[in-house]
Chains A and B, each alone.
Chain A
Amino acid sequence: MADYSKFDALNVQILGISSNIPFSQKTFADSLKLPYPLLSDAPDLKVIRSYGGLNPQWDMTTAQRWFFLIDLQGIIRGQWRGSTSEVFPSEPILKAARELSKKQ
Chain B
Amino acid sequence: MQMFGKARSKMVACGIVSLLAALNASAVEQPTVTELLKPLNLSGYASGMRPPEFSGQTSDGKMLSLTGLREKVVVVNFWASWCLECRPEMPMFERLHREFGAQGLSVIGINAREGAAAVRLYAKELGLTFPLILDPRGTINTAYGVIGLPTTFLIGRDGRPVALAVGPREWNGKPARALIQVLLAEPAPLKETRSMAR
Contact = CB atoms under 8 A, between A and B. Distances in A.
B182 interface: no
10 contacts: A22-B49, A23-B50, A23-B144, A23-B145, A24-B145, A26-B45, A26-B49, A27-B145, A31-B147, A32-B147
| Interface range on chain B (Cβ under 8 Å from partner) | 10 to 19
Interface of A: 20-28, 30-32
B164 interface: yes
Contact of B164 (A22, A26, A32): A26
Interface of B: 43, 45, 49-52, 142-148, 151, 161, 164, 166
A24 B143 contact: yes
A39 to B, nearest CB: 14
Contact of A23 (B51, B147, B148): B51
Contacts of B145: 20, 23-28, 31
Nearest to A29: B145
Contact of B142 (A22, A24, A31, A32): A24
B52 A23 contact: yes
Contacts of B49: 22-23, 26
A92 to B, nearest CB: 25
Given A27-B144, A32-B147, 17 more contacts: A20-B145, A21-B52, A23-B45, A23-B52, A23-B145, A23-B161, A24-B143, A24-B144, A26-B45, A26-B49, A26-B145, A27-B146, A27-B151, A30-B43, A30-B164, A31-B146, A31-B148
3 smallest beta-carbon distances between A and B, as pairs: A24-B145, A27-B145, A28-B145
Which of B45, B161, B166 has the most chain A CB atoms closer than 10 A to its own CB?
B166
Contacts of A21: 52
A23 B51 CA distance: 7
A27 B145 CA distance: 5
